[in-house]
Structure 1
């Protein structure tokens, strides 16, 4: 009798599995829903933010605030930019006052930092202890706002400090991202 119950259970289990593997024809009043596994790239594409990206920094870049960008470098990158600006500017370019612009250049393996005041760009800082971005790899870029500077970390390692030239961090209210990356999350 135990063998009969096991055989009946195996048949029920097999028929249950069979129903999922080979869907049965639905009755006319039922609605069929197609479900298929989502590939990794498709999942990432659904979670990504459109680049170029422009977004508001709520409350401005106050001391103690962190701006965190989770992203993925394109497989064949040239460069990408992250900028903290005073004002939204136009849809094409940032406004005349840029508190910090980071430009990752892959050919030169440099991360340039510069500022723009009243439409005039200052000399770029180029020195950095390492180049943290790798083609086709994810990264976490963190910009910490402090009273007199921005501290930039990539994947938890300090890349640089950049003294800001703006009168008030509260005026820094917009984040710009453009170039050869995919942004998966902002925090």
Structure 2
């Protein structure tokens, strides 16, 4: 076998960017230090059909809840519109979804085939933007669809993550 695990997974700094083991450039703050929770980051160019947001992390040992939200900016006053908010609640094993537009919360959705998050275990959430909806996958399994409530997808340009988790990678 060519090289040790450490050599294969080595991360190199070139031209101010890190390259992961597959050689694709990523921004330095994606790999280390670990992304700090609560996290707020910019989605370059906003959302559009075909664009995917990846959140990889580890659930805390004794979690209560965590949230992942895609918003239209990060203004506090007035509060930014929330295109989709995913809230994992461990006590009830629920994964709630909602939006908040012009200060008005939409109809909350909660139906899922199973609760995918396990305390002290890693996870991978992918939010795929399609023309009529977000399609959400957890650990490679499609969990639900959430139909767009914000018409201008490109205005959805911020990701916020908060709660009982550690973020290991964003993409």
More helix by share: 1
If the length of structure 1 is used for normalisation, what is the TM-score? 0.72
For 1:95 and 1:58, locate their aligned partners in 2 and report how far apart those are by CA, in whole Å: 20
Partner of 1:84: 70
The higher radius of gyration belongs to: 1
Q: Secondary structure at the match of 1:170?
A: helix
The answer as to whether partners of 1:86 and 1:95 remain within 8 angstroms in 2 is: no
In 2, Cα distance between equivalents of 1:94 and 1:144? 28
Deviation at 1:88, TM superposition (A): 1.5
Give the superposed CA RMSD. 1.6
Return the match for 2:152 from 168, 176, 181: 168
Please list, as runs of the form range in 1=range in 2, the aligned pairs for 1:32-71 lying within 5 A after superposition.
Answer: 47-71=33-57
Provide TM-score, normalisation by structure 2.
0.79
CA drift of 1:94 comes to 9.1
Secondary structure, aligned partner of 2:154: helix
Q: Say whether the 8 Å CA contact 1:61–1:169 is kept in structure 2.
A: yes
Structure 1 gap ranges (5+) = 1-44
- Structure number with the higher strand fraction is 2
- Return structure 1 stretches of 4+ with deviation > 4 angstroms: none
